[in-house]
A and B are shown apart, each in its own frame.
Chain A
Amino acid sequence: MSSLLEVRGLTFSRDHRVLAENLDFDVRAGSAIRLEGPNGAGKTTLLRIVAGLYSAYEGEIFYEGQRSLSALRRHSHFLGHAPALKGSLSAHENLDWLASLKGLAASAADIEAALEQVGLGGYEHIQCRQMSAGQQRRVALARLFLIPAKFWLLDEPFTALDKQSVAALEGWIGDFAKQGGAVLLTTHHDPAIPALQSIELGV
C-alpha cells in the first residue's frame, strides 16, 4: 500500500538534548505504528512535529507526497494530552464544534451514532464537566467516528480509560488500520493491536 506519510532525515532536540537523529520512517495506509521509548524520549514531540505543531526540527516530512500541511489537516485527527472539550458544553455541542472545525456540519443523528459507538448513547445533552475523566476521554474519542479521516495521531489515547474501554479502543484502532487507515500513537502499556509496528526513540 502507498505511503501516507514519509519522514526523511528527521533530527530534533529539546533543551540542547538531541532526541532523534536522521530518523527515517513511513506510515503506510493500513498500518498502526506505536512510538516507543522512555519518558522524555520525544514521543509527544515527534507526534507534534508530524501534526505540524512543533517546528524546531530538521529534515523533511511529506504527507501524500506533499510538504503542505493542508491535506494533513483535512484528513487527520490529532488527539493530544488534553481532550479539547469545554466543560460547560454538552457532548453534542462539543462534537458539533469539532466537526465545524473540520469545515463540516454534523447532524444530530451523526453525533448520536458516534456517541453510541463509544458507549455514551444518551449522554448527548450532558455537560462534559459532569462526566468522569474516562467518559470525557470517550467523548473526545467519539470524533474519530463522527468525522471520517485517513490518519489518526493519538497521544496517550488510553489515559483514564477503564479496562473495557481500553480493549474497545484497541479494537477500533485495529479495525481502522484494517480498513486502510493509518495510526501513529504513543502509549505506556502494551496494546493488543494486531500487526502493530513500532518506532523506538531514545536508544
Chain B
Amino acid sequence: MWAWFHKWSSPRWFYQLSGRLLPWLAVISAVCLLVGVAWGLLYVPPDYKQGNSFRIIYIHVPAAAVAMAGYMMMAIAGAISLVWRIKLADMVVKCAAPIGAALTFLALVTGAIWGKPTWGTWWVWDARITSVLVLFFLYIGIIALYEAFENKEAAGRACAILALVGAVNIPIIYWSVEWWYSLHQPASISFTGESSIHPSMLRPLMLTITGFYAFFGVALLMFVRNEILDRERNTRWVRELVTAAAR
C-alpha cells in the first residue's frame, strides 16, 4: 500500500498516468458542457418570473460550486504536502489556485450580469456574492504568496499552510457573512430567496456542473504536468522526453 502510494506520488509516474487520463477527461468535459449548455439555453422553458435571464445559472452555478470545491481540494492537497512531504501535492496547490481564481471570477461576473435584469443593479451586497468575493480574495492571496517566494519548494509549502488556514476559516467566514446579511437584510429583496428549482431546469444544470468539474480536472492536470516538466527539468526522464519530442 505504502509503496503504491509512493509510486503514484512520484512526478514521473503521475506524468505518465495523467497523460493517459487527460484525453478522456477532456472528452467528458467537452460533451457535458456542450450538451448541458445547449440544452439549458435552447430547450428548457423560460422561468415564469425571470424569463430567459435565469439561463445564466448554467454557467454561474457550476463556476461557483467548482471554485468552492476547488479550494477545499487545494487545502487537502496542502495537508498531504505538509504531512507526507510529497512534492506533487504542493504542485497541485500551486496549480489549482489560478484555475480556482478564474472560476471564482467567472462566478462573480456572471452573477453581476444576472443581477442586472433581476435586481436592476450590477452589484448587490448579498450574502452569497460577498462570500464568493472573499473566496476570490483567498485565491488571490495564494497566488500572490507563491509568486513572492524565490525558492519554489518553500513557496509550495507556504501556500499549503495558507490554503489550510483558509479552508479552516472558510466555514467561519461563510457563516459570519450569512449572519451579517440576516442583520441588514432589506425587506424588498425577498424574491431571490431559495425558490425551488424545476426538475426540467435541474437536469442540464447537473450536466454543466459535471462538465465544470471535468474541466477543472483537465486544466489542473495540464498545469501540473507543465510544472512537473519545469521542476524536474534536470532529471534524465524529462530530458529524454524533451529530446524525443524534438525529434
Q: Out of B153, B233, B234, which one reaches A56, CB within 8 Å?
A: B153
Cα A55 to Cα B153 in complex, Å, equals 10
Report the minimum CB–CB distance from B22 to chain A (whole Å): 27
Tally chain B residues at the interface, Cβ within 8 Å: 4
Chain A interface secondary structure, helix, strand, loop or mixed?
A: loop
A16 contacts across to B, CB distance below 8 A: 233-234
In the assembled complex, how far is the CB of residue B162 from the closest CB belonging to chain A, in whole angstroms?
A: 19
Instruction: List chain B residues, Cβ under 8 A from A56.
Output: 153
Nearest CB of A to B154, in Å: 8
Q: What's the minimum C-beta distance from B138 to chain A, rounded to whole angstroms?
A: 27
| A151 → chain B closest CB, angstroms | 25
- Write the B139-183 contact mask toward A (1 if CB under 8 angstroms, else 0): 000000000000001000000000000000000000000000000
Q: Which residue of A lies closest to B150 (CB)?
A: A15
**A92-140 CB contacts (< 8 Å) to partner B:** none
Interface of B is mostly: loop
Cα–Cα distance between A16 and B153 once the two chains are bound (Å): 12
Closest Cβ of chain B to A48, distance in Å, is 13
Q: How far is the CA of A73 from the CA of B68 in the complex (A)?
A: 42
CB-contacts of A5-58 with B (<8 A): 16, 55-56
**In the docked arrangement, what's the CA distance between A56 and B153, Å?**
8
Chain A residues, CB < 8 A from B233: 16
Interface residues contributed by chain A, number (CB under 8 Å):
3
Complex alpha-carbon distance, A77 and B233, angstroms: 38
Proximity string of chain B (233-244) to chain A, C-beta cutoff 8 Å, 1 when within and 0 when not = 110000000000
Q: Name the residue of chain A whose CB is nearest to the CB of B154.
A: A56
Give the distance in Å from the alpha carbon of A16 to the alpha carbon of B238 in the complex. Answer: 14
CB-CB contacts below 8 Å: B45-85 with A: 85
Closest B residue by C-beta to A18: B234
B153 (CB) vs chain A CBs: closest residue: A56
**Shortest Cβ distance from residue A21 to the other chain B in the assembled complex, whole angstroms:** 13
Nearest Cβ distance between residue B212 and chain A, in whole angstroms?
A: 36
* Chain B positions 194-247 with a Cβ under 8 Å from a chain A Cβ: 233-234
**Smallest CB gap from B231: residue in A:** A16
Q: Report A54-68 CB contacts with B as 1/0, cut-off 8 Å.
A: 011000000000000
- What is the bound-complex CA distance between A55 and B234, given in angstroms? 20
Instruction: Using CB atoms, name the residue of chain B closest to A14.
Output: B151
- CB under 8 Å from chain B, chain A span 120-175: none
A68, B234: Cα distance in complex, Å: 31
Residues of A within 8 A of B153 (CB): 56
From B85, which residue of chain A is reached at the shortest CB distance?
A55
B85: A residues at CB distance < 8 A: 55
Residues of B within 8 A of A55 (CB): 85
A residues near B (Cβ < 8 Å) are 16, 55-56
List 4 A-B pairs, minimum CB-CB distance, nearest first.
A16-B234, A56-B153, A16-B233, A55-B85
| 4 residue pairs A–B, Cβ–Cβ below 8 Å | A16-B233, A16-B234, A55-B85, A56-B153
